[in-house]
Amino acid sequence: MGATNTTHYSDLDNKLAAFCKALAHPARVAILKHVAKVGSCICNEIVDELPLAQPTISQHLRELKSLGLIKGSVEGVSICYCINKEVWDEYQTLFNNLFSDLKPAGNCC
C-alpha cells in the first residue's frame, strides 16, 4: 500500500485531489506566491528566498510544472518561470464548484 488507488473515483475528484496534492506543501505555496509577486519571471532567486537546497527547489518546480500550474522557458543561462493563468482559471472554477457543493449542507450536529 502507500499508493493511492485512483481507479474507483470520479475524474473530477481525482483532478481536485491531484491539484491539492500539488499545493500540499508550504514550499510550493511559497514558490507560487513568489513567482506571482515577482511578476514576469525568475530563476534561482527562489533558492535564495526559501530555506531549501537547489535540487529540492527544482523537484518542487517539477511537480508544479507537471500539473501545468507554472510554465518555464529557457532564458539564456537561466529559466523563466511564470504562472500558467489558463490552468489556474480552470482550477478556480473546480474549487468554486466544490465550495458550492459543500456549503449548502450546513450544520446538522
Q: How far is the CB of 51 from its own copies (least distance, A)?
A: 4
List the grid coordinates of 73.
Answer: 522557458
100: enclosing H helix or E strand? helix 85-102
Q: Scan residues 35-94 and list those touching its own copies (CB under 8 A).
A: 35-37, 39-41, 50-51, 71-73, 75, 80-85, 88-89, 92
**Segment interacting with DNA (CB under 7 A) among 29-37, 68-76, 83-91, 101-109:** 68-76
**Judged by CB under 7 A, does residue 61 bind DNA?**
yes
* Cα–Cα distance list, 87 to 7, 47, 67, 103 (Å): 24, 25, 9, 24
Question: 18 CB contacts (<8 Å, ≥6 apart)?
Answer: 67
Q: How many residues bind its own copies (CB under 8 A)?
A: 56
Q: Contact letters (x/-) for DNA, 30-49, by CB under 7 A?
A: -------------xx--x--
Cell 510544472, residue located: 65
